[in-house]
């Protein structure tokens, strides 16, 4: 069994594969239900637009498979948003792992939220060895609200969920593969689950 990166039709697969290789984890890129079911852990990456990614997953039957997985699953950026109930981005229904609405940033500030920002109130199995205030790299125009599943927060035009966790499902809004030592540690922690 191995680590599988889910092909979503849009994503940061090359940089994420390279980041995993740097920690000694070889990942297979796949978009078949059989490969996901055989995986030891699954990463749902994402850079792009929610509706297109959900259509891609649905057309291949991956949406149902992702919801049913019992192995560790990590959604990154758009991948985390797809694990939520819905997104305001083109009124897209998500996988509903987290009963959270994803909303467009509004208020005074530049959108998308791009660059380094501190992540606070960290807890849970993704964060051992990391301290409150660790710096991670973000690029996103939509955000998941705070909820019972929030395991880290970030402040940009208000507080939002920087990370979510529920059972074997995890999500991070930032890009660990672009976040230096903190991102490396988070990926190591996930790959030990």
Query: Which residue is catalytic, options 77, 84, 154, 191?
Result: 77
Catalytic residue check, 175: yes
**Coil, strand or helix: which one is 181?**
helix
Report the alpha-carbon distance of residue 85 to residue 83 in Å, rounded.
Answer: 7
Query: Which residue is catalytic, options 49, 89, 177, 188?
Result: 177
DSSP tag of 157: S
Query: Which residue is catalytic, options 89, 140, 175, 188?
Result: 175
Catalytic residue check, 58: no
**Residue 142: strand pairing partners:** 104
Report the alpha-carbon distance of residue 123 to residue 80 in Å, rounded.
Answer: 17
**Coil, strand or helix: which one is 183?**
helix
Report the alpha-carbon distance of residue 117 to residue 104 in Å, rounded.
Answer: 18
Q: Could you check whether the bond before residue 112 is cis, i.e. omega within 30 degrees of 0?
A: yes
* Residue 183 token pair: 């991102």
Question: For residue 67, which phi and psi values (nearest 5 degrees)?
Answer: -65, -25
Any idea which residues carry the catalytic annotation? 77, 175, 177
């Amino acid at each position: 069994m191995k680590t599988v990166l889910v092909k979503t039709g849009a994503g940061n697969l090359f940089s994420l594969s390279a980041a995993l290789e740097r920690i000694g984890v070889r990942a297979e890129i796949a978009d078949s239900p059989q490969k996901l079911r055989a995986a030891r852990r699954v990463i749902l990456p994402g850079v792009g637009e929610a509706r297109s990614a959900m259509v891609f997953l649905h057309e291949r039957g991956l949406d149902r498979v992702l919801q049913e997985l019992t192995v560790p699953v990590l959604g990154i950026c758009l991948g985390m948003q797809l694990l939520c109930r819905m997104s305001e981005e083109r009124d897209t229904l998500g996988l509903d792992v987290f009963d959270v609405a994803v909303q467009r940033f509004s208020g005074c500030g530049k959108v998308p939220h791009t660059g380094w920002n501190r992540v606070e109130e960290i807890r849970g199995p993704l964060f051992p060895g990391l301290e409150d205030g660790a710096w991670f790299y973000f690029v996103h125009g939509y955000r998941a609200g705070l909820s019972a599943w929030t395991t880290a927060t970030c402040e940009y035009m208000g507080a939002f969920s920087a990370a979510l966790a529920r059972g074997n499902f995890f999500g991070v809004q930032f890009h660990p593969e672009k976040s230096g030592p903190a991102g490396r540690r988070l990926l190591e922690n996930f790959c030990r689950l």
